[in-house]
Chain A
Amino acid sequence: MSSDRRPLAVTLAPPLFWLLLFFLVPLAVVWAYSFGRNAGLTEIEISGTFANYARTLEPLYLGIFLKSAGVAGLTTLICLVAGFPVALAITFASDRAKTWLLLLVMLPFWTNLLIRTYALIAVLRDEGYVNFTLEWIWARLGSIWTLPPFVPLELLHNNAAVIFGLVYVHLPFMVLPLYSALDRLDRSLIEASLDLGAGQLRTMLRVVVPLALPGIISGIVITFIPALGAYLTPDLLGGPDSQMIANVIERQFKRANDWPFGAALSFILMYLTLIMIAVQAMTEKRKAR
């Protein structure tokens, strides 16, 4: 090792050691568990079996995987549709407004996810702010016409609440990469399109979207991956039929006490994630070429 590289090694060594000891080693242990079987209450025998992986393909678990992918996909789609205009608006805002708008987008990151989720419960529950407001309006209308008694809307503990919560949590993951792609876009390309006679819609579809595509793809990947593995949101906002794959994994490790199967489920999720990241990296590489 040449002497000028030594400072680099010294700086990198502690975090690398940390990563190795507390991330890669436990991960390897869990990976090993996924090829094992329960031998007694706390003992796991690493037998090299693929039985756990075979079990993940049972209709029950396959269904939950598909459902999770569906929920995450719908969340990503809503984030994209809602986030694109937001990113566009920030791009074209004045420099001063831009700083504030970006701050507003990032603000939720500085609040604990658990607190934000409980706040959503406070908004959506039967006696929550939404129903409270609706009841108030209902009462005012009731003084004009005769209305049946107010029945609160069931906004919580169902799939819609889960998707609502996931969109709320993941929107910044979509907006920020979209914004950075749109902000890099040469404005004169948009003007050139208008100048050549294209309307706003054609300019958007033929010029802005194709050129922002790398940002759109990374926004989709960055949103979809954490949404697929969401645990807290379906756990707190969902109903009995809203469980996603992360909730199932948690149950294997805790109540079911089946660590090998939980490990196999975890690694299936991990492989899916790695495949998605690889596909994205490949498309990006082709773009850059």
Chain B
Amino acid sequence: MSHIITVENVSKRFGQVAAVDDVSLAIEEGEFFALLGPSGCGKTTLLRMLAGFETPTEGRITLDGKDMAGVPPNRRPVNMVFQSYAVFPHMTVADNIGYGLKVDGLGRAERDARISEALDLVRLTGLGERKPDQLSGGQRQRVALARALAKRPRVLLLDEPLSALDAKLREQMRFELASLQHQVGITFVMVTHDQDEALAMATRCAVMERGRLVQLATPSDLYEFPNSRFVADFIGSVNMIEGRLTTDKPDEAIITTSELGDVFIDHAVLGHTGGTLWLALRPEKIELRVRDAGSPAPKMEDSPQGYNSIAGTIDHIAYLGSESVFEIVLEHLPDKKLRVIRPNLTRWDQEDFAEGQPVWMSWHACAPAVLAG
């Protein structure tokens, strides 16, 4: 069995409120697993149940096949990096890292070796004698990481590990955490509300909403194949358009919408004709072309059902350097806007697309995700 952790129908209720509601999932050995969701979705409660700080009201958690019910936090082969880091302020960095090793009854020589190994691992070599108040926030976090990793746990739990760092450091730590995980080969389980963080680091993500697990997939599957409007909306930004299924054949479907007219989809849609569906169209999947007076709608060669395109006018531009985000008003529905992201591939790329410029927006027949709810 390669599942290192299984969560079986676990619920946790605080009074009447179900913080975690009937969640089942399995985490594999060596994974970098992310629990993702908005605040209050129960992800931290689930993590704390893995650590042993909370007990499930119902259900079962196993670790290495052993039922964890009744096993206190100090007897579990997992270690946690706390959101506040929880570095002991009255101990030196080395004593912080050595604390857990001393508990394990390791001798002085073995302990010192493990401490310096852990310091090297998180690139704090030589800072062992510092006190925590002499360290920066990023360094304190590394101490918390080293302290947990020095115990060589089966699973490392990380509670919002990057949330207290500034933006630049956060981006750098994403890569560092992922490579660290690769290096030590320990299973990481991370809680985060930041979808970028989860997509960048995790091998698989579980998206939670109001205590329930709504989707468990790889980052790219979450982004490209969301299974609900909630997930499509929570992960990245999206144009969500309501429509009705009017044609449904094995390799062609048409969804009729008020905003975009008839939208061609190049695959069958599971739904009944006439039923309400939603199209989730990512802003970067819409292509922009300049629309001159009388110019025809562009053709897209590899779209068998022709092209999906619609006329609009640029209303607002957010220039972000690497890309620009456009809000575009639809020609036939001036109170509806679509969001489009366009990479700035050359240095004068953006000149054609100024505010007030009429444009064609077009997308592949396979670009939108079709969602039933």
Contacts and interface: CB of A to CB of B under 8 A. Distances in A.
A194 B73 contact: yes
B82 A196 contact: no
A188 B79 contact: no
A188 B99 contact: no
B128 interface: no
B72 A186 contact: no
A192 interface: yes
A193 interface: yes
B103 A198 contact: yes
B103 A196 contact: yes
A194 B74 CA distance: 5
B14 to A, nearest CB: 12
A211 B86 CA distance: 13
B74 A192 contact: no
Contacts of B351: none
Contacts of A211: 89-90
Interface residues of A, number: 17
Contact of B82 (A191, A199, A202): A191
A188 B84 contact: yes
Nearest to B77: A197
A199 B74 contact: yes
Query: Chain A CB within 10 Å — which of B103, B147, B148 has the most?
Result: B103
B84 A196 contact: no
Nearest to A196: B100
B99 A193 contact: yes
A198 B88 contact: no
A192 B86 contact: yes
Given A192-B86, A207-B88, A198 B99 contact: yes
A198 B79 CA distance: 12
Contacts of B103: 196-198, 202
Given A196-B79, A196-B100, A197-B103, A191 B73 contact: yes
A282 interface: no
B151 interface: yes
Given A191-B73, A202-B103, A197 B151 contact: yes
B53 interface: yes
Nearest to A190: B86
A196 B99 contact: yes
B104 interface: yes
A90 B277 CA distance: 55
Contacts of B253: none
Contact of A194 (B72, B88, B148): B72
A135 B147 CA distance: 61
A197 B74 contact: yes
B47 to A, nearest CB: 12
Contact of B86 (A189, A197, A198, A206): A189
Contacts of B78: 195
A198 B84 contact: no
Interface in B73-106: 73-75, 78-80, 82-84, 86, 88-90, 99-100, 103-104
Query: Chain A CB within 10 Å — which of B72, B73, B144, B151 has the most?
Result: B73
A206 B103 CA distance: 11
Contacts of A199: 74
Contacts of A194: 53, 72-74
B51 interface: yes
A192 B89 contact: no
Interface string B311-352: 000000000000000000000000000000000000000000
A26 interface: no
Interface string A184-225: 001011011111111100100011001100000000000000
B104 A192 contact: no
A194 B80 CA distance: 10
B230 to A, nearest CB: 30
B97 to A, nearest CB: 10
12 contacts: A188-B83, A191-B82, A191-B86, A193-B99, A195-B78, A195-B79, A196-B99, A196-B151, A197-B100, A198-B74, A199-B74, A207-B88
Interface of B: 51, 53, 72-75, 78-80, 82-84, 86, 88-90, 99-100, 103-104, 144, 147-148, 151
Given A192-B144, A195-B148, A196-B103, 5 more contacts: A188-B82, A189-B88, A194-B74, A195-B51, A199-B74
Interface of A: 186, 188-189, 191-199, 202, 206-207, 210-211
